[in-house]
Structure 1
Amino acid sequence: MRVGALSLPLLPEQARREPKLKGRAMDAVLQLSAVRSAVEFALLPA
């Protein structure tokens, strides 16, 4: 079992049953990556 599979074990199965959940998961992933890049940008030496 890969490490990536541990973080979202039920997502593919649930996304197949609930299309709305897939959209919500994508929104969360996009928000997380946006927050992470903002933090990384803030931590860059000026």
Structure 2
Amino acid sequence: MTTNNQTSIASLAKKRRTYSAEFKQQIVQACKAPDVSIASVALQHGL
């Protein structure tokens, strides 16, 4: 018996996130701060 798994796989796919220009600018500025790692900024903002 064969099963069509394409439907279940497609429903599990994540949607692409969209961010405002203001949010992106805030992230960039936070990354430019001295002694701040990009990874820490990403984690703080759930990226």
TM-score normalised to the size of structure 2?
A: 0.28
Between Structure 1 and Structure 2, whose CA radius of gyration is higher?
Answer: 2
TM-score (norm 1): 0.28
